[in-house]
Amino acid sequence: MSYNTFGHLFRVTTWGESHGPALGCVVDGCPPNIPLEEAAIQRWLDRRRPGQSRYTTQRREPDAVRILSGVFEGRTTGTPISLMIENTDQRSKDYGEIAEKFRPGHADITYWQKYGIRDPRGGGRSSARETAARVAAGGVARAVLAELLPQVQITGYMVQMGAHAIDRARFDWQEIERNPFWCPDAETAAAWAEELNALRKAGDSVGAVVEVVARGVPAGLGAPVYAKLDTEIAAALMSINAVKGVEIGEGMAAAALRGSENADEIFMGETGPEFSSNHAGGILGGISTGQDIVARFAVKPTSSILTPRRTITKSGEETEIVTKGRHDPCVGIRAVPVGEAMMACVILDQFLMHRAQLGEGGGGRIG
Amino acid sequence: MSYNTFGHLFRVTTWGESHGPALGCVVDGCPPNIPLEEAAIQRWLDRRRPGQSRYTTQRREPDAVRILSGVFEGRTTGTPISLMIENTDQRSKDYGEIAEKFRPGHADITYWQKYGIRDPRGGGRSSARETAARVAAGGVARAVLAELLPQVQITGYMVQMGAHAIDRARFDWQEIERNPFWCPDAETAAAWAEELNALRKAGDSVGAVVEVVARGVPAGLGAPVYAKLDTEIAAALMSINAVKGVEIGEGMAAAALRGSENADEIFMGETGPEFSSNHAGGILGGISTGQDIVARFAVKPTSSILTPRRTITKSGEETEIVTKGRHDPCVGIRAVPVGEAMMACVILDQFLMHRAQLGEGGGGRIG
Amino acid sequence: MSYNTFGHLFRVTTWGESHGPALGCVVDGCPPNIPLEEAAIQRWLDRRRPGQSRYTTQRREPDAVRILSGVFEGRTTGTPISLMIENTDQRSKDYGEIAEKFRPGHADITYWQKYGIRDPRGGGRSSARETAARVAAGGVARAVLAELLPQVQITGYMVQMGAHAIDRARFDWQEIERNPFWCPDAETAAAWAEELNALRKAGDSVGAVVEVVARGVPAGLGAPVYAKLDTEIAAALMSINAVKGVEIGEGMAAAALRGSENADEIFMGETGPEFSSNHAGGILGGISTGQDIVARFAVKPTSSILTPRRTITKSGEETEIVTKGRHDPCVGIRAVPVGEAMMACVILDQFLMHRAQLGEGGGGRIG
Amino acid sequence: MSYNTFGHLFRVTTWGESHGPALGCVVDGCPPNIPLEEAAIQRWLDRRRPGQSRYTTQRREPDAVRILSGVFEGRTTGTPISLMIENTDQRSKDYGEIAEKFRPGHADITYWQKYGIRDPRGGGRSSARETAARVAAGGVARAVLAELLPQVQITGYMVQMGAHAIDRARFDWQEIERNPFWCPDAETAAAWAEELNALRKAGDSVGAVVEVVARGVPAGLGAPVYAKLDTEIAAALMSINAVKGVEIGEGMAAAALRGSENADEIFMGETGPEFSSNHAGGILGGISTGQDIVARFAVKPTSSILTPRRTITKSGEETEIVTKGRHDPCVGIRAVPVGEAMMACVILDQFLMHRAQLGEGGGGRIG
């Protein structure tokens, strides 16, 4: 079974292959009367667009989005919003070899083993190009959040490239937009630039850790127990290509803490509860606390590299492969806007789920 | 919105509070003609049962499961299987204080903020007691797997308690069943016993990392792109109480690798493709490779501890809280059978999804 | 695949066989803080209960419902509500013959052909006893509607038994509760009593048409285009045992009308639009108009009859069957509270869906 | 909430407005390796296409379908299939008046009341044009059925126009394709032609009853109890624009039968059970019997007519309306291929659901 829809009430169905004529998505469940224009979506796509710096794939795609339905005179109508992005720079001759050989670390072999057929042009459906549709959907989610929860701000950034993590002491929100790595630490960004140049020359690639923070999310969002806010975030982020780990708040490091260290103590602030710390990453029992939602995900290094690797062909012969094509040496960079988009979709979806059960008031008062 | 069902085709709906009369689940979508008896489910529940060693909560629950429907003369009929476990040792007077005060690090405050009402007896629905229903459902999943994919073996174990990880060089599958920590390394298990005794005396708790391995899973399972096998595992594990991070294969450490290190090279074995390593954790592009599926999750330290923590009351007054009750000093221990159960459910669900789309043959041959 | 859940946001999962130890349901997605007691649910079950008049099956079941979760101190908590009804009068020896022979017109043969196993005691899962769980869920839905949409009134009644329809000119809402047929026309009710006595003596059974009206439903409910209000009602009613047809408003008779006759003209009333007629049954484009929602369904005659019918055995031998047991000569009578329950669930579900997308205001003003 | 997806495993999400740039659907869950070309889908769209006879709307749309994803070298890949149909003949000036006035019997008023905004051009999303996307999806379903269940034949036809029903004694399968009404009775078709001409001149419209038969469906399909085969068919057909009633087998007439008349007696045929009659319409207990699946639906007369009707404006003023535009005098005619498409989708979906739970063997033998 293929399963190309995510979300419960804000439902996004994506379609399209890397080298097909187009890709896109259908966004269903969007509230009506939300201002929405192509430009508002394009803005986010432009962040993910390939070919913008020398640190990402040199494939050049305008990634121009068209709204085909669901919007009338600049406002959503509450009916499904169909978004389409045409593929233009497909150069599928680059991919001749991978029609027969399986790239190690890539989905080539598993798609073949599952389906017995696959679109080999650029990885087909398993390509990171699919994430353009997610970013477009995230653009719609952001437009809705801007109306319904205007205080919510979602920001992604890279906190680690290879083994080199940022220095949290130098964290600067403003810096994120200033370097090609969405890195909140200028000094680390400069070092990454050098490291990545060296890697690219070596025909190799490297992994990364991306952090996504959602500020301003009200307390009470989350649908226990199998659509908890952290569960949904974990699923959304793990579904992104090449992601191998997901953390909320302390994440894996929580294992090493004691209960007395890990529990965020509670105080009474001016407008409600406040916490002494945020080990929880803004989520307790699967429900938001009102603190920043903090999630991280690890992106493995691109498996399409120039370093020769041993592999087999469809007919079972052992051979070597070198993936030429045009690939990202650190696919984590372009995963930043994708992580943001998924977070935006999840938070909106959870807000709608909350509103269904509890209406617009709801929830218990404190104080 | 409350969301208490997981699975697409093998669907489990759990219900019940920690101190209500009973808890249970309804398992829908189970294939018919599968041998199933209460004892087969009870076996797994007994592993999770509280009060079995001094390292877990002293609450004593027989956790005896009853099959109320869906089974006729020892075989499943294909109709919904209703499982019920009565609560017997509820001692709810232990929980008087937490009706008014919020335990830091616990879902008390968020349930209140979400719903404006909560069952305060033992954490109500947010209690780890809910996981008994998961383990029961996992027992059904195991019974079905035993018929449909008999080669599949699912085993969970603790690989880290606090900051103390096992030594992989001493890994021994047999050891797992021999110590109260499900620890595959006898030496580490002994050390943990001492450490946990000390912690318990100090009225504190500690986190853990649990690893779950599924061996024998055929290649081709996974429903791209939003119900990928790793996505579903991540969601299933993150939905367990107190889990803050989930990893597949290399997990977060994949970020530090280079592409040339991370890609598992492919060879031709006697019965099909083999790999030089398993950085991928048995999943590429969201689809199983035929290698071991390897997942890990971090469980935070129990927040119900004897160490006083600062908090507030419902009416907004600042105060302190000490949680007496009977709590697990390392809830990660009892999370092991829960992680196994979730893995069993996900793999069965994915198998059914695969069979729906591809029938019983399907998939591409190699060689 | 077995599929035992209905509803999108107010989700009901039913379980249980006719002659198993118990049956019940889990209601998920219920808003919190709704007053709910067993007695409020029991009230509706008592209407459906067998053995209340000589016109229904003589099986005697108290159908006493227990709330096992989701309610704390008389109010819903927003977590799943588990309801259980124990079977007491099971007398499964009555059913010996149908373990081997297929009753014509009954699900015996298709359950066998599908599953290769079935619980033959009283029809197992295909028995009308499953509808007790629906009525219990409907009781919860009614309790929620009483809080959220208190103006909504849902009433079912029989409008036809065999070929004998009521006289609409004698329609009297008060009469419905006064006779054992839920018939709004006293004169017809008296005639039906005689007809049914004759039928019962003849060992035969008869079909019926039930109408369910929901008054006070606000305009705007319905989720186009595949969860339209009428679509959901049609599915809900068609899923009831023995139902063969479903109509909204004019129903099948709409085919014979001209556009000029069928269109309900619109006027401006004191509080909003009013209509000259209600051919539409209160639904246009799948969305409620604010008029009465009017649905009807046809129940076929019980196939378990004393008249011998030709059939075959599992081993393929031709034979005859007479179904003794204790069966309803007109199962349509007891379908009335079931139809009401399904309507209540659908309207609540649609209300929650509407609230998710549109919040509590929403919708366009007229005038 | 908007809900634009139907199907459980063969999932179709439609999008698009009557007068937007395009409409289409995404088909997810399609098995791989199924031969599929645009021409195979186009064939069914051409049957539904407007402007083919003088008995349907004179809007001229080529309704040319494009496959944008999910097919590689003429075969499905198992990934989502995106289908797009561009709108060309939109002439939206025809619709000026209905932006302000509500057409009686039409969804204008309810979309406005629900959403507070609507695309008034040609009815927007509530237009019958949405059904083109269903027919395209049905074309995919038919292509899959041709591979997986090649014996299945699905045929729709009109059995009643206005009050004038066909004569079943003259039923001729061949005749269906020979007249513009898909009428299996040539004599009645000729009479309908005259009646419809008269109606059109009178500026009026008329309803119809369409019957859809699926022959060759194997016994055992259907997912009790809330996704029964008849439940799913009822929902699928009721979701078509203007449908007010749905029947299976005897349908509403089953109410008037006695149990002894209605039960289809069972015999042993050469290859399995056979039945003396088909009152059940091929479905017992929600599961197919192996007989013909017989469903009917009533389509109300088009509400867009030239006869003036009384209505109100958005601002609440009472007025009259005459709908000029280009409308079908009997929209039932073009509903025939839509009913077929929905039936094809439901049967395929149920087959996949069955295969998930039972694999390729499964089910009980008789004889």
Nearest residue, CB atoms, B357 vs list D31, D360, D362: D31
Q: Are B80 and B26 in contact (CB under 8 A)?
A: yes
| Element (DSSP H or E) covering residue A159 | strand A153-161
Q: Which of A232-241, B172-181, C353-362, D338-347 has the lowest mean pLDDT?
A: C353-362
Mutate to test the interface with B, among C23, C68, C85, C144 (most CBs of B within 10 A): C68
Annotate A206-262 with DSSP letters as a single string: B-EEEEEEEESPPTT--BTBTB-HHHHHHHHHHTSTTEEEEEETTGGGGGGSBHHHH
Distance CA B106, CA B205 (A): 14
Taking CB atoms and an 8 Å limit, are A266 and B104 in contact across chains?
yes
C49 is annotated as contributing to ligand binding: no
CA angle C343, C344, C345 (to 5 degrees): 90
Record: contact C5-B15, CB cut-off 8 A: no
B220, B225, B317 ranked by CB distance to A125: nearest: B225
Closest partner residue to A29 (CB to CB) among C29, C355, C357 is C357
Give yes or no for residue B92 having a pLDDT over 60.
no
Residue of B nearest to A270 (CA): B316
Q: If you measure CA to CA, which chain A residue comes closest to C10?
A: A357
Question: For residue A48, is pLDDT > 80?
Answer: no
Of all residues in chain A, the one with the smallest CA distance to B107 is A285
Q: What are the φ and ψ backbone dihedral angles of D73, each rounded to 5 degrees?
A: 50, 45
Which chain A residues are Cβ-neighbours of C78 within 8 angstroms?
357-358
pLDDT at A229 over 90: yes
Across B240-251, average pLDDT? 98
pLDDT at position A125 over 80 = yes
CA distance linking residue B181 with residue B193, whole number of Å: 8
Q: How confident is the model at residue A92 (pLDDT cuts 50, 70, 90)?
A: low
pLDDT classification of B53: cutoffs 50, 70, 90:
confident
D303 annotated ligand-binding residue: yes
Using CB atoms, which residue from B11, B23, B77 is nearest to C119?
B77
In angstroms, rounded to a whole number, what is the distance separating the alpha carbons of residues B192 and B53? 14
- The identity of residue D205, as a single letter, is S
pLDDT tens by residue, B330-357: 999 999 999 999 999 999 999 999 999 9
**Which of A198-212, B305-319, D93-107, D307-321 comes out lowest in average pLDDT?**
D93-107
φ/ψ of D25, rounded to 5, equals -155, 160
Domains in chain C: ranges and CATH = 5-358 (3.60.150.10)
Contact check, Cβ <8 Å, A310/B356: no
pLDDT tens figures, B97-111: 778 899 999 999 999
CB contact under 8 A, D117 and A82: no
Does B326 appear as a known binding residue? Answer: yes
CB-nearest to C1 from D247, D248, D356 is D356
For residue B151, pLDDT over 70 is answered with yes
Q: How far is A9 from chain C (nearest CA, A)?
A: 8
* One-letter identity of residue D302: T
With an 8 Å Cβ cutoff, are B355 and D359 in contact?
yes
Q: How far off is chain A from D40, nearest CA to CA, in Å?
A: 19
**pLDDT attached to residue C325:** 64
Q: What is the pLDDT of residue C58?
A: 66
Mutate to test the interface with A, among B112, B119, B252, B268 (most CBs of A within 10 A): B252
Write the pLDDT tens digit of every residue in C53-94: 777 776 677 899 999 999 999 999 999 999 999 998 766 555
Cβ of C205 within 8 Å of Cβ of D315? The answer is no
Q: What is the pLDDT of residue B1?
A: 63
The ranges of chain D with pLDDT < 50 are none
Check the annotation: does A126 bind a ligand: yes
8 Å CB contact of D116 and A32 = yes
| pLDDT for the residue numbered B227 | 97
Looking at this protein, which amino acid is placed at residue A67?
A: I
Measure the N-to-C terminal CA separation of chain D; round to a whole number of Å.
50
Contact status, residue C366 vs residue D312, Cβ threshold 8 Å: yes
Q: Note whether B68 and C16 are within 8 A (CB).
A: yes
ipTM reported for the complex, 2 dp: 0.96
Cβ-proximal residues to B197 (8 Å cutoff; 6+ apart), any chain: none
Q: What is the pLDDT of residue A97?
A: 74
Dist. CA C12–CA B80, nearest whole Å = 13
Cis peptide before A212 (omega within 30 of 0): no
A1 pLDDT tier (thresholds 50, 70, 90): low
Q: How far, in Å, CA of D255 to CA of C36, rounded?
A: 36
Give all chains having 3 or more CB-to-CB distances under 8 Å with chain C: A, B, D
Helices (H), A30-168: 38-48, 108-115, 131-148
- Chain B positions in Cβ-Cβ contact with residue A251 (cut-off 8 Å): 244-245, 252, 298
More confident call, A203 vs C191? C191
Query: Among all chains, which residue has been given the structure tokens 């259907």?
Result: D222
Reported as a pLDDT band with limits 50, 70 and 90, residue C1 is low
Chain A to chain B, count of Cβ pairs less than 8 Å apart? 457
pLDDT, mean over chain A: 93
Burial of A324 (0-12, 13-18, 19+ CB in 10 A): middle
How many contacts, defined by CB atoms under 8 Å, are there between B and D?
A: 45
Q: Answer yes or no: is pLDDT of A356 > 80.
A: yes
Burial class (CB within 10 angstroms; exposed 0-12, middle 13-18, buried 19+) of D49: buried
Contact assignment for B125 to C81 by CB distance below 8 Å: no
Predicted local confidence at residue A345, as pLDDT: 98
pTM for this prediction: 0.97
User: Which residue of D118, D160, D258, D297 is the best one to mutate when testing the C interface, meaning the one whose CB has the most C CBs within 10 A?
Assistant: D258
What tokens does C44 get? 């509706």
Neighbouring-strand partners of residue D206 = C258
Q: How many CB atoms lie within 10 A of CB C175?
A: 20
**CA–centroid distance for D109 within its chain:** 24
pLDDT in tens, C33-45: 999 999 999 999 9
Q: Do D2 and C315 touch (CB under 8 A)?
A: no
Cβ distance of B24 and C82 shorter than 8 Å = yes
pLDDT at A54 over 90: no
Q: What is the pLDDT of residues C94-125, one digit of tens each?
A: 566 778 899 999 999 999 999 999 888 878 99
Q: Which of A50-64, C180-194, C276-290, D258-272 has the lowest mean pLDDT?
A: A50-64
What is the C-alpha to C-alpha distance for residues D294 and D308, in angstroms, rounded to an integer?
A: 38
Give B252-278 pLDDT, tens digit per residue: 999 999 998 998 999 999 989 999 999
Percent of chain C with pLDDT over 70: 96
Q: From chain B, which residues contact D within 8 Å (Cβ)?
A: 9, 29-32, 78-79, 148, 224, 352-353, 355-360, 362
Backbone angles phi, psi at C24, to 5 degrees: 175, -165
The answer to the question of whether D79 is labelled as a binding residue is no
**Most confident listed range (A54-63, B310-319, D41-50):** B310-319
Output phi, psi for B246, to 5 deg: -135, 135
In order of A37, A68, A70, A82, D120, the CA distances from D112 in angstroms are 22, 21, 15, 21, 10
Which residues of chain D are within 8 Å of residue C198 when distances are taken between CB atoms? none
Question: What is the average per-residue pLDDT within B90-96?
Answer: 60
Instruction: State the Cα–Cα distance between residues D175 and B150, nearest whole angstrom.
Output: 54
Structure confidence at residue C50 (pLDDT): 67
pLDDT digits (tens, 9 = 90+) for B2-48: 799 999 999 999 999 998 999 999 999 999 999 999 999 999 999 87
The residues pairing with D3 across neighbouring beta strands, listed in sequence order, are C225
- In 3D, which of D2, D109, D297 has the Cα closest to residue C225? D2
Q: A264-309, pLDDT tens digit by residue?
A: 999 999 989 999 999 999 999 999 999 999 999 999 998 878 888 9
Contacts of D253 (CB under 8 A, 6+ apart): C245, C298
Encoded amino acid at A244, one letter: K
- Angstrom distance (rounded) from CA A122 to CA D229: 41
Q: How far is CA D214 from CA A279, D108, D142, D151, D152, in A?
A: 59, 35, 12, 10, 7
How far apart are alpha carbons D39 and D36 in whole angstroms? 8
Can you tell me the distance from the alpha carbon of B48 to that of B337, in angstroms, rounded to the nearest whole number? 6
Which of B78, B360, B362 lies at the smallest CB-CB distance from D357?
A: B78
| Closest CB from A26, A30, A76 relative to D26 | A26
Secondary structure (H, E, C), D1-51: CCECEECCCCEEEEEECCCCCEEEEEEECCCCCCECCHHHHHHHHHHHCCC
Helix (H, G, I), strand (E, B) or coil at C26: strand
Instruction: Classify residue C185 as left (phi > 0), alpha (psi -120 to 50) or beta.
Output: beta
What is the model's pLDDT at position A342?
98
For testing the chain A interface, which of C352, C353, C360, C365 should be mutated: the one with the most A CBs within 10 Å? Answer: C352
Residue B244's closest chain A neighbor by CA? A251
Beta-ladder partners of B83: B25, B67
What's the one-letter identity of residue A197?
N
Question: Which of D357, D360, D365 is the best mutation test for B, with the most CBs of B within 10 A?
Answer: D357
| Low-confidence winner among B211-220, B319-328, C26-35, C182-191 (lowest mean pLDDT) | B319-328
Chain C residue whose CA is closest to B10:
C1
- What residues pair up with B98 in beta bridges, in sequence order? none
| Higher pLDDT, residue A76 or B60 | A76
Residue A90 reports pLDDT greater than 70: no
Q: How many helices (H) and strands (E) does chain A have?
A: 7, 18
CB C106 within 8 A of CB C40: no
Contact list in C for residue D131 (CB cut-off 8 A) is: none
d(CA D216, CA D214): 7
What is the pLDDT, as a whole number, of residue A50? 67
Report whether B114 belongs to an annotated binding site. no
On whether C303 is known to bind a ligand per the annotation, the reply is yes
Q: What is the pLDDT of residues A302-318, one digit of tens each?
A: 887 888 899 999 999 99
Task: Tell me the shortest Cα–Cα distance from C76 to chain D, in angstroms.
Answer: 24
pLDDT confidence bin for C319, thresholds 50/70/90: very high
- Residue A92 annotated in ligand binding: no
